[in-house]
Amino acid sequence: MKERHFRIMVGVILIIGLYYDMNDLILAILIIMAFEAITNWRIPIMISRLRYRKSDALVSPETSHDADSIFGRFQFEAERMFRILVILFVATGQYLFPEQIWFIPWFVAFALLGAGLSGACPMVLVLRKLGFR
């Protein structure tokens, strides 16, 4: 499993949860993403390692240790920061201010779906430009 497949799944699940007003489903996705952000045990990498039965299978570019990632401004991965920002945006729009900024979780869900389908996530690219590795 690749990050783009994970983004497609999260985007579709968020859209379904938002459309049918399934707050438990949305909360479950946010908890899974929070677990990934805190521990850096990402589901796509774990599934790839289990699938190929190798400890170094499909190491993502975010975890590689090339010269650009070593000399980054922050020693914090862009994928982890991306997950934290998704959690903050969705939780703020869905649970804190649902009447005022209801469109933020929808925007995030469709952005995740688009990032998964295209293979390029603009938020991760911006975070890398800001200095995250």
- In order, the DSSP letters of the chain are --HHHHHHHHHHHHHHHHHTT-HHHHHHHHHHHHHHHHH---HHHHHHHHHHT-TTTT--TTT---HHHHT-SSSS-HHHHHHHHHHHHHHIIIIISTTTSTHHHHHHHHHHHHHHHHS--HHHHHHHHHT--
Copy the structure tokens of residue 49: 């390692």
DSSP per residue, 60-92: -TTT---HHHHT-SSSS-HHHHHHHHHHHHHHI
Cα(123)–Cα(93) distance, rounded to whole angstroms?
Answer: 18
- For residue 126, the model assigns a pLDDT of 96
Task: Examine the pLDDT at 58 and tell me if it is beyond 80.
Answer: no
| AA identity, residue 43 | I
What's residue 20's pLDDT?
97
Query: What six digits make up the tokens of 63?
Result: 């975890």
pLDDT at residue 17 above 80?
yes
What is the mean predicted confidence (pLDDT) over 16-39?
A: 97
pLDDT at 53: 81
